[in-house]
Structure 1
Amino acid sequence: MDMNADTGDVLEEVVAMLVGVVGEDFLLDVEVGPDTTFNEDLALESIEFVVLAERLQRRYGERVQFAAFIAGMDLDQIMRMTVGDLVRHIESRLRPAGV
């Protein structure tokens, strides 16, 4: 696991995971970036969130706990969550202590 991944690397990895979850054909009409919302832009279903969480777990291990990240949000925050929000969470969890 690369603990020093930069924003571009993490964003690329998250986008690749999303392609795997929702399918490349679906994303042909959507340019996924930091401001892309999971609900409105990607229309992710709850089962797709579960699959995404599993892929995040496999890639980043215990440090990036998607379920705990979402558990700290209310429904409105979850509905407005962007790819950038997730990338920032991943980066904050991968950052060495004290940085």
Structure 2
Amino acid sequence: MTHVVTESCIKCRYTDCVDVCPVDCFHIGPNFLVIDPDECIDCAVCVPECPVEAIFAEEDLPQDQLDFIRINAELAPEWEVIDSSIGSLPDAEEWKDKPNKRELLER
């Protein structure tokens, strides 16, 4: 199994999770992070670090977030690896509690 970044990360892109990852499985996009399922070792140390609770074990994903398994797998090879935090997006605080951000995901 792997961990998956979900919709809550969109337009926030907090990078606290990146600092604790022992295998550098996070990849960074314009307004979202993804986890490379081939690199993730399912250690779960990233989960409590996410201020918007956007990271789930694959088996614990809410039903309405299942498509993020595919999204993470699809975007990880296209985006650059990030191995240290860089802070959140400038307007992250405005977006952190907003639902229905899927269509705002920039590829």
Higher strand fraction (1 or 2):
2
Q: TM-score, length-normalised on structure 2?
A: 0.36
Higher helix fraction (1 or 2):
1
Q: TM-score, length-normalised on structure 1?
A: 0.37
